[in-house]
Structure 1
């Protein structure tokens, strides 16, 4: 670790002296791109983070949003927390521990808001699936996520997995967490009052993860898997489970004034940010920290990123009770200092063994002698990093170069592509039923978890005696990005990703509530890379605003660059929506009913753009990105209404792989589809990937047409059958016919390759 010369000059000017080694390391980590967002913060104001449901927006460990009452539409008493985190570099160096500790970190972000974690969503990005190294990373990452999530008892209910050659040298692991809290339980990371104690609860501190924040702010070197291993943390999910339950008791007993998870930059990062947010300072005695390794020095204690640790602000009279609860759950507990109205200071007294070691080298250290290793203004430490002003180049618009491919070959190739094939191999390793809230699990357009809350309203107007009733809200969750889209057109692709996630929740009958994002990019010092990153920020922000969906928090991960080159600009969006109740139309068709396609602009104009499609990725071509619907907000709202109608039998979003893949995914062994594709361009109609489309199987097609009148085009494609076969015709006759068993075999690519 080393502080850049230009940053050192600013620090020296502020302090009026040279920084101590501990201060220099602390500034180097907290002023890194990973913590300070020096290249991205100037762009993030594009996001609209406010709204009537938003309780806590960006800047805390997680965002907090009020759930609407399912009957009145007003803000209810229940809050959900939303957070998302990247653990990209660690997952390349050590796939298992890198991914596992990403889960642990985002769960602790949830705890620090006074919330109980109820659901996880992971979005994963790897190099080409036919590369052995990509499979090795995939297997290790999935094992790490499943091990940690399953052990702590938090279900993984949603997510995505994508493969693209430009992730070969730098995979992405983005994990989101949803939690539950309410106004009385809500805690923030804003220190409250001088004189309150700072209490560290959780695992003992070791030497793992040193310099993790600075490591995450650099390009991955060719030898990263060996040389950067010490920067990767090691997780202990069983300790995390104890911490979850202990945190619940602390919150229920109102013992916490503020809280911060120990993540990037360890204790130094968490404690300094906590007091800085309150405009305060702290006095910390580092040797008080409970440690698991002998003779740790001040710098190691300050910056180690050992997992499963929380920093709490506690009033003096509650310290003993906090210690009792920690002991009850077999967790370490240290009172490490207190909140002050001065600087952020850390002192350290060497142990007897350390003094003996110093004496052997000729240095003198007396018992009781305390060194001041950090003495800085907390706000300057957290907010003083200068922002970067970087040049950006506009990405080139691809020229049209369409391959000629036999349609049946195209269908089998695209349906069996790892990007569009079933992700069952991934999600079957996750426990998505634990917690008994999961109403719709992974493998559908969006997951739904049940939120049950008591209401003071009587069960009916006739019940004069009153009494509580239970109101049920379904919380729909969708998470993911589309590397092919944003590699082709960063701005348009990011707009499409926002619409795609909103369409996913609408297909389950939910309307968007809020979102968090994880913005992943390469080295921002390269103008072309920074131009692509700027495009995904603007595109995502614009579409979320059009959908009236506030982006209430997120994470930025840059320098995802390696000897293989930069990653595609990747804006993962985790979006939640709500609905009354938690029943939802299935994805698969029933054996009888009319099939409609809504929202397809290409069919209306008889002009299809295949840019960003899996078809072109498989067959080596290029094209412009498709145009999006003109009224995306109205389309999403209408789709949610139609999905909840009694006459609706099935709904499925149309996106990755196009109409051909969506049709193939809807058939079963007992229910098939017979459809006709209008127009002369069957390849374009079947494989373009314009988002904002859905297939709706209904008993009342006229009602669907009426609902979408003046909102989006509606085309009748055909009807369901009882033979489990997908039959697709054009105006001249049959194009192809394939049975459910063959489709299932095509879609089993990942499972077949990894067994």
Structure 2
């Protein structure tokens, strides 16, 4: 029997499964207070998914509000859309704009790695599409347990196949990301997905249901039983060590349907027949209807009988909660419905009128002629619970900070120093990732200018002018454990530096904040500190936050992941022909170190790979120095002064030299700066880069650095001897370095 609004009034004390749906007692009581009665089963389903942590941000809202302090002005002008929209939109000049956003699909990707990762890509692509943009590229920051752990052998290949398979089928280049291994991610991998799209200013679309009498149309795939309570519920739960047990909650993706949906939607935009649009993500119809209605100027009526089902046995509650993929909802004037449906038919995309915009402020949903939902949509979509979770500085952090990596033993000889360089190059987090990235198409569409393993992905936007964008994602979670405020700023600084090293001006960020349980005061302190670090850092760098995602409850058996606030940085490059690649290009080029190196080894790759150590304080960010360095790198790219540039981050100067040498098989001969060689090679002091350039350009580059106050030191030259030679210390054959660097992931996945 259908639970109707009438029966809710008639049976006020009927038992309801609110706890099984993830609601707390006080939340259920609040729903009853809002409605003035008990909810129907359908209303309970809607509130449960929309008030979940994943959809409502109920534990993070009070902290995320701080991002407004950064403002909405980029170095190139105001944002066209920012926080609160489906994705941020940035003016990049010449009537062009780009929209970009990053989100998580962590828990579904542990339960079912392939589909969890694939539908994570599909979901973020639809967010970008719903802003009126053509998706043009994706990135995927990934985190796994130890490379040699048995469950990593299950999760990693599945995730990579899901990311690659879905993105490749859509014809979207995968231009960057990260792959990091740490024991805290065992049982709780992180699968973050970023998408970027391009549009003209006038093409911007909003998620609003406006105009009484306008029709509400669902189009795309039919609705099935997959993903019921999927991301919305899974992302609000923790796991135990017994392994996956929630496969029915994971969505199933169809990239070929999504490709049709993309092209169909872009034609609908071009025809001018869409008044408002919303993608179907977490919470399915519950989300699309309540968010469209609450952002509009009226109410909405929906008839669930009109929803096309793959499974006719679904209950109305299941229809509302289903997170079946490749679906969109549009608001269309009555005069445009026929043309809308004809365009969908042309692309073999299902489309059905399921409702209309009505007078008033209610969301009304009927099923089999009975009213099963009658709510104020704002209470579902935007006025959920807000928690100020307790937070406190952990009592264990002082001892952790006192355990400094700077006090660890260092190499006693040049030979030992060289062996440490090899050890770092062959450590899982610094090793070659091509086993993964070769499964992704990085050059489809023909506009990829730089892609993995470069500092940043660079895409051409305008063929006539060469206007382009750069994107980088970064986060060293080890730094964030030691000090989440500084760690978040270091993630911001590294993404900023990576974009600048490619020759692009950094302008705005999106973030994916991955943390443990918000019910743990230690975690909430980490989260709060990371937010403050990003707010202060973005304010100083002038890079507004355009939007993003929070992922809580990333823990297994009570063990929280390392705090992992991933930062995605967008940069603008006026002519992609002037980009700077990371690899040494010409024998005889001067090799120059930019920035100041300090004794900062705590949290470093050296401490991890050589000593299995994590303690001390992370490096100190210097955002003014980052800005100066970026100005030099961007100006040098514009003026054609450099042949390569590589930021210094994980692994310090040593790893940057390894990667720059291996890129094109050219070695380097250098003399280390004065001081401790361990510090010179392995310190991870930020605001540094290593560049190469022709001798004829050196004086101009030196003057540019002096103009911006960036220290530089000529440390060596590019050679074609097939070696990395550090004079008076060691010589490494590139063949040996490459063998160490290429082996770990390839052999683990063999």
Same fold (TM over 0.5): yes
Aligned match of 1:72: none
Distance (Å, rounded) in 2 between the aligned partners of 1:220 and 1:125: 16
* Residues 1:625 and 2:633 aligned together: no
Instruction: Give, in whole Å, the separation in 1 of the partners of 2:558 and 2:174.
Output: 31
In the other structure, the counterpart of 1:168 is 186
Q: Displacement of 1:41 after TM fit?
A: 1.2
| Secondary structure, aligned partner of 2:202 | coil
**Per-residue Cα deviation, 1:667-721 (whole angstroms, up to 9, x for no partner):** 1475221111123321122112122211011223333332222533212211222
**CA drift at 1:536:** 1.6
Partner secondary structure for residue 140 of structure 2: strand
Alignment of 1:395-414 (within 5 A): 395=394, 396-397=397-398, 398-399=401-402, 400-401=404-405, 402-404=407-409, 405=411, 406-414=416-424
Equivalent in 666, 683, 686 of residue 688 of structure 1: 683
Quick one: structure 1 residues 45 and 348, their matched pair in 2 at CA, closer, same or farther if it must change by over 3 Å?
A: closer
Q: Name the count of aligned residue pairs.
A: 703
Q: Does 1:29 align with 2:22?
A: no
Taking the aligned partners of 1:491 and 1:543, their CA distance within structure 2 comes to 10
Task: Give the unaligned 5+ runs of structure 2.
Answer: 1-20
The one-character-per-residue Cα deviations of 1:280-300 (angstroms, maximum 9, x if unpaired) are 321110111001112221111
* Contact 2:641–2:701 (Cα < 8 Å) also in 1: no
**SS of structure 1 residue aligned to 2:27:** helix
State the distance in 1 between where 2:605 and 2:131 align: 40
The answer to whether the aligner puts 1:675 opposite 2:685 as a matched pair is no
1:441 aligned to which of 426, 447, 451: 451
CA–CA separation in structure 2 for the residues paired with 1:493 and 1:193:
47
Instruction: Encode CA deviations 1:486-510: one digit per residue, 9 max, x unaligned.
Output: 1222111110111111111111111
The 1-side partners of 2:735 and 2:152 are apart by: 28
Identify which of 519, 523, 532 aligns with 1:538.
532
Q: Is 1:376 aligned to residue 375 of structure 2?
A: yes
Specify the SS of the correspondent of 1:114: coil
Pick one of 33, 43, 59 that aligns with 1:13: 33
Query: Cα–Cα, structure 1 residues 600 and 643, in superposed 2: closer, same or farther, change >3 Å?
Result: farther
Partner of 1:722: 720
1:663 maps to: 657
Range with greater deviation from structure 2 (706-715 or 252-261): 706-715
Q: What is the aligned partner in structure 2 of residue 451 from structure 1? A: 461
Aligned to 2:159: 141
Contact persistence 2:211–2:297 (CA under 8 A): no
Aligned to 1:448, what secondary structure does the other structure show? strand
C-alpha distance in structure 1 between counterparts of 2:568 and 2:209, whole Å: 29
1:598 and 2:597 aligned:
no
1:2–1:24 CA contact under 8 A, matched in 2: no
Residue of structure 1 equivalent to 2:740:
746
Structure 2 counterpart of 1:357: none
Normalising by structure 2, report the TM-score: 0.91
Match of 2:703 among 687, 706, 714: 706
How far did residue 650 of structure 1 move? 1.3
CA distance in 1, matches of 2:559, 2:469: 39
TM-aligned CA deviation for residue 315 of structure 1: 0.6
- Map 1:233-382 onto structure 2 (within 5 A): 233-350=251-368, 370-382=369-381
Between the aligned partners of 1:291 and 1:176, the Cα distance in structure 2 is 30
Q: What is the rounded CA distance, in whole Å, between the counterparts of 2:359 and 2:299 in structure 1?
A: 5
Q: From 641, 646, 650, give the equivalent of 1:652.
A: 646
Which residue, out of 224, 236, 247, partners 1:206?
224
Structure 1's consecutive aligned runs of 4 or more residues displaced over 4 angstroms after TM superposition are none
1:609 aligns with 2:600: yes
C-alpha separation between the residues in 1 aligned to 2:430 and 2:364? 52
Q: Residue 239 of structure 2 aligns with which residue?
A: 220
Note the alpha carbon deviations across 1:339-366, whole angstroms, 9 max, x for none.
Answer: 123244343444xxxxxxxxxxxxxxxx
- The more displaced of 285-294 and 476-485 is 476-485
Q: How far is the alpha carbon of 1:511 from its aligned partner?
A: 0.4
Does residue 476 of the first structure (1) align with residue 481 of the second (2)? no
Q: Take 2:178 and 2:295, find their aligned partners in 1: how far apart are those partners?
A: 34
State how far apart, in whole Å, the 2-side matches of 1:296 and 1:343 are: 28
1:55 corresponds to which of 58, 65, 80: 80
Distance in 1 (CA, whole Å) between partners of 2:436 and 2:219 is: 33
SS at match of 2:643: strand
- Does the 8 Å CA contact 2:418/2:732 hold for their aligned counterparts? no
Q: Secondary structure at the match of 1:217?
A: coil
The answer on whether the counterparts of 2:268 and 2:343 sit within 8 Å (CA) in structure 1 is yes
Question: Bigger shift: 642-651 or 93-102?
Answer: 642-651
Which of the two has greater helix per residue? 2
Cα displacement string for residues 40-69 of structure 1 (whole angstroms, at most 9, x for unaligned residues): 11111222250124101111211111112x
How far apart, in 2, do the equivalents of 1:222 and 1:282 lie?
A: 44
Q: Deviations over 1:63-90 (max 9, x none)?
A: 111112xxxxxxx311111111110000
Q: Is the 8 A contact 2:290 2:363 kept in 1?
A: no
Query: CA separation of 1:471/1:546 partners in 2, compared to 1, >3 Å: closer, same or farther?
Result: same
**What RMSD in Å do the two structures reach over aligned CA positions?**
1.6
Task: Provide the residue aligned with 2:10 in structure 1.
Answer: none
Question: Using the alignment, how far apart are the partners of 1:564 and 1:423 within structure 2?
Answer: 30
Q: Distance in 2 between matches of 1:151 and 1:276?
A: 34
Q: Report the counterpart of residue 499 of structure 1 in structure 2.
A: 493
For structure 1, which segment, 522-531 or 617-626, has the greater mean C-alpha deviation from structure 2 after superposition?
617-626
